[in-house]
Amino acid sequence: MNELDQALYEYLLSHSSDMTDEWLSRRNKESGSLYSKDAAPELVKKLREQNKLFNTNISKVFIEEEEPYKEGLIPWTKMVAEDRVNSNVPLHLVIKQFGVFRAVFLDFIESFVTQNDNLAIKHGDIFRWSKKINIAFDKVVDLFSEHYNEVHNKLITEKEKIILELSAPVIPIASSIGVLPLIGKIDIERAQAIMESVLNQSSHMRITRLYIDLSGVPEMDAVASCELSKVIKGLNLLGVQAILSGMRPEVAQAAVEQGINFSNTQMEPNLGAALSKIEW
Question: pLDDT tens, 174-189?
Answer: 889 999 998 888 777 7
Is the same domain home to 256 and 127? no
Give me the amino acid identity at 153. Answer: N
The domain boundary residue, chosen from 164, 191, 212: 164
Q: Is the pLDDT of residue 208 over 90?
A: yes
Last-in-domain residue among 134, 164, 194: 164
In the predicted model, what is the mean pLDDT of residues 202-226? 86
Domain boundary residue, one of 133, 164, 195: 164
Q: Are residues 44 and 128 in the same domain?
A: yes
What average pLDDT score do residues 240-263 get? 81
89 and 47 inside one domain: yes
Same domain flag for 24 and 154: yes
Q: Which structural domain, as residue segments, surrounds residue 196?
A: 171-276
pLDDT value for 155: 87
The number of domains in the chain is: 2
Same domain (yes/no): 53, 179:
no
Chain-wide mean pLDDT for the chain?
Answer: 88
Whether residues 58 and 148 fall in one domain? yes
pLDDT for 157 equals 80
Residue closest to 212 by CA, chosen among 201, 257, 258? 201
Decide: 243 and 214 in contact? Cβ < 8 Å: no
Q: What is the pLDDT of residues 80-112, one digit of tens each?
A: 999 999 999 999 999 999 999 999 999 999 999
**Co-location of 145 and 189 in the same domain:** no
